[in-house]
Amino acid sequence: MAIQNQGFRRDSNLVETENDRTAFDNLAGSGTNLDISILQNNLRNTSSIPYFKVDNDGFFSTASDRVIEISSITSTGKTDPVTGNKTTTIQVSLVNPFLIKFGDSVKISGITDAGSDIVNGEFSVEGTSNDLKTFSFSISGVEYTATYSDVSNITFSILSQDLFSFTKGDVVTVSEDVNFKKGINTINPPFFTKGTEYYVIESDGLTKFKLSTTPNGNTVDNRLNTFNYNAGERLVPDNFYFIRKDAVLQEQIVNYIRPEIQDPEFTYLGGNTINGAMDLTQANIESAEFFMSKKYRGDKDTTTSEPISFEGSVVINDPHNYNSISSKITDNTPLRRPPGVYIGDTRSFSSDNNPWDKSGAELNTSSEEVSIGELTFLDGNNSMVVTGIDNDVSTLTSSIDASSFTHKIPVKIEDGNGNQETYFLLLNKS
């Protein structure tokens, strides 16, 4: 039998110690046993959030309230016989289970009968049943008992959440198989399969995220990017929830080690108090959220009404040939108003100004409204040909009246060797 202060024998694998916690402390330092106890069963730790909606950009979002179908509401009032304090407990029963947790904010509205000023309002969940179909919360200072069996005009909502979300790289599963449904038709295979691991991408860390089958991949299904509730598209069932694995691994423990300070002027918390550092961090987060919405990204569209400044050259393409095909030039439909340079279906530089006027089959403009910096024809297919000049001409024939020309344009002509010479094109309106 082990005795106190016996010591530890390697060949006995520490079996002589009467207290395993003491053994850890003796081997690794005081308090180590508490650290290890925190890691007990850590590989099984999970956290969950319910499915709220898919927003217009294909994100799973908790940024707006979620209405949940209910079957009844019961309020029970009581008065403490000793203190005289009054309390009303409100119990809500759901038609289908939904993941509502302790501390979540919910809202009841639509009650017009007696007790509307008591039962209508926002509450913090205090109790949940194991089947996730019954939830309760309480009101202090009032005693009111009633049962609302007809809930057709009552709305029960879980309020938007921005305190907890998944972040990039998190491993997530779903509580059950989830299918995509349009109208009455369920489209297989499932969007998500229970037990399959997915990876969080494009998360803002607060209210929205997407899922991928790989850590840095694309959205699980492209149909999410164009999700349209108005067209009858939805996920079924709509009461599933996401489950994140919260295992604590060696890399997380290593990251908690206080780093060696290289800069003698460095201070933890930036010299602020803990409260001051928290306030500064929150302010920086809010500023970052604001400016992130104004930045231009390569992985998604950005919409802004702010002026755009460019450094360097801007290349504008005409992939639909709006300005080179005669049928499209004369097409006056709203999306193809001739002529001009377009980005998509929008005229470049967000302007409707157009110096050209359509007159019959011709386009007319005042010359002072048109400027060409440099126009080059370099495709090698005789895309520009000047005819009627075989040799240098010193005198004009009688058939050419020099006074008939009203305008001239200087052009640089380059030969095959790269030599340039400036000439003038004589023009008139007709």
- Structure confidence at residue 231 (pLDDT): 78
Q: How many residues does the chain have?
A: 430
- Structure confidence at residue 168 (pLDDT): 85
- Alpha-carbon distances of 152 from 109, 148, 156, 300, 347, rounded to whole Å: 11, 10, 11, 41, 50
Query: Which of 14-23, 213-222, 266-275 shows the lowest per-residue confidence on average (mean pLDDT)?
Result: 14-23
* pLDDT: which is higher, 215 or 326: 215
- Report which of 119, 117, 128 is spatially closest to residue 148, judged by C-alpha positions: 119
Number of neighbouring beta carbons within 10 Å of residue 211: 24
Please state, in angstroms and rounded to a whole number, the distance separating the CA atoms of residues 53 and 64: 8
* pLDDT: which is higher, 220 or 394: 220
Per-chain mean pLDDT for the chain: 77
CA angle 290, 291, 292 (to 5 degrees): 95
Which pTM value belongs to this model?
0.56
Please state, in angstroms and rounded to a whole number, the distance separating the CA atoms of residues 429 and 405: 8
How many CA atoms within 13 Å lie on the side-chain side of 131? 6
Q: What is the pLDDT of residues 325-344, one digit of tens each?
A: 666 655 656 544 545 555 55
Give the strand pairing for 86-94 and 70-79: antiparallel
How many CA atoms within 13 Å lie on the side-chain side of 35? 10
* pLDDT: which is higher, 62 or 26: 62
pLDDT confidence bin for 350, thresholds 50/70/90: very low
Query: Which of 314-323, 336-345, 352-361 shows the lowest per-residue confidence on average (mean pLDDT)?
Result: 336-345
Mean pLDDT score, 393-397: 63
- Alpha-carbon distances of 352 from 325, 334, 348, 355, 371, rounded to whole Å: 21, 12, 9, 10, 18
DSSP 367: G
- Structure confidence at residue 108 (pLDDT): 92
- Structure confidence at residue 98 (pLDDT): 94
- Structure confidence at residue 89 (pLDDT): 92
Strands (E), 329-419: 342-343, 346-347, 357-359, 362-364, 407-414
pLDDT confidence bin for 215, thresholds 50/70/90: confident
- Structure confidence at residue 372 (pLDDT): 59
Number of neighbouring beta carbons within 10 Å of residue 117: 10
Please state, in angstroms and rounded to a whole number, the distance separating the CA atoms of residues 118 and 97: 25
- Structure confidence at residue 71 (pLDDT): 92
Domain boundaries, the chain: 10-43, 46-63+163-245, 66-158, 326-368
Q: What is the pLDDT of residues 107-164, one digit of tens each?
A: 999 988 888 888 898 999 999 999 999 999 998 888 999 999 888 889 999 998 776 6
* pLDDT: which is higher, 77 or 32: 77
Question: Is residue 36 within 8 Å of residue 185, measured between CB atoms?
Answer: no
Going by C-beta distance under 8 Å and a sequence separation of 6 or more, which residues neighbour residue 409?
Answer: 424, 425, 427
- Structure confidence at residue 275 (pLDDT): 87
* pLDDT: which is higher, 131 or 345: 131
Assess whether pLDDT exceeds 70 at residue 59. yes
Q: What CATH number has the domain spanning 66-158?
A: 2.40.30
How many helices and strands (H and E) does the chain possess? 6, 25
The percentage of the chain sitting over the pLDDT mark of 90, rounded to a whole number, equals 15
